[in-house]
Amino acid sequence: MKRIKKDKHEKENSELLTQKENWEIEIPSAKKSKEDTYDEENESAEDRSTPEEFSQELVNKRTSSISKLLLDINKVSQKAFNTDVNIAFYQDTPIKIAMERKGSVREINTLVAINFDASGMTEKGLTIRGTEKLNQFDRIVLDAVNSLFIEGHNQYITTQMIFHVITGDTDRRITPNYAQEINNSLTKLLSTHIVIKANEEAIMYPIWGLQLQVINDDIFDKEAKLKQKREKVKAAKRATPRDIEFVCLKNRYGESNYTCNFKYYAQFDYFVPVEAPRNDFDYNARL
């Protein structure tokens, strides 16, 4: 009986070796042209990289955990992720949401609509399982991603990191099913566009603007040196992150000369405050 099994394995191994030989024979021998070759002796050491070094360059990206969770609690999110009411946002007509403060005598309405377009994801081979409508799990995933990026300053975020934030257990390993659910939620969020028209709210609230902090340099107080000014602005626009100043331009009901500085990451369209905003008075006290 043992001899039969041994003969069987030898026969299978022989067939595999024969197939391997055939594969090697079928591969055509490529003739390198003069343009396809290089002089190894004259190649500099900086141009050479081993597979191990190339792999480390790809995977050695520093990440960090977070100490607190950032939650999106604005009025639009409260309704957009609520499956009991958010179906109305997927219609052609935008839905009104009351944005005024509690007890305010002024009515401020904001128009909100949700557009779902997964064409970009489909082209990349990504599909969404289940409903296309946003739900509470999508909101939890979004809060985890925002927290990891803003609070943790992570530019590279994995499903394992999101899983740690959701569960609160940094030692627990993610299961394949849970990873699939997170990836499905991320694909849905990438395909969802929330359109907000806040014209009424913009009229009632102060008018703000953003500008490069380099504008505050002394050189911009002088009429001459136009070339140097342009070079400074170009350098500030190329910087990563960019130093941005948030400025109040007009305020009908209060102070208008306050500012706040931010670090702007253009590749993610994210602003990170570098100092706490002023809180010695209520900007919306009369709204």
Asked if residues 137 and 81 have their Cβ atoms less than 8 Å apart, the reply is: no
∠ CA 250-252-255 to the nearest 5 degrees? 70
Per residue in 77-114, pLDDT tens?
888 898 888 888 888 788 888 888 777 777 888 888 88
Mean pLDDT of 186-204: 84
Q: Which of 183, 194, 85 is nearest to 130 (CA)?
A: 183
Asked if residues 153 and 64 have their Cβ atoms less than 8 Å apart, the reply is: yes
Q: Residue 200 and residue 104: Cα distance in Å, rounded?
A: 14
Distance of alpha carbon 186 from the chain centroid: 10
Q: What percent of the chain has pLDDT over 70?
A: 73
The pLDDT of residue 252 is above 50: yes
**Phi-psi bin for 157: left (phi > 0), alpha (psi -120 to 50), beta?**
beta
Q: Which of 287, 210, 211, 200 is nearest to 252 (CA)?
A: 287
- Helix 176-190 vs helix 159-167: angle between axes, to the nearest 10 degrees? 100
What pLDDT is recorded for position 32? 37
Residue count of the chain, please give it: 287
One-letter amino acid identity for 30? A
pTM for this entry: 0.54
Per residue in 32-66, pLDDT tens?
333 333 344 444 444 444 545 444 444 556 778 88
Tell me which DSSP letter residue 43 carries: -
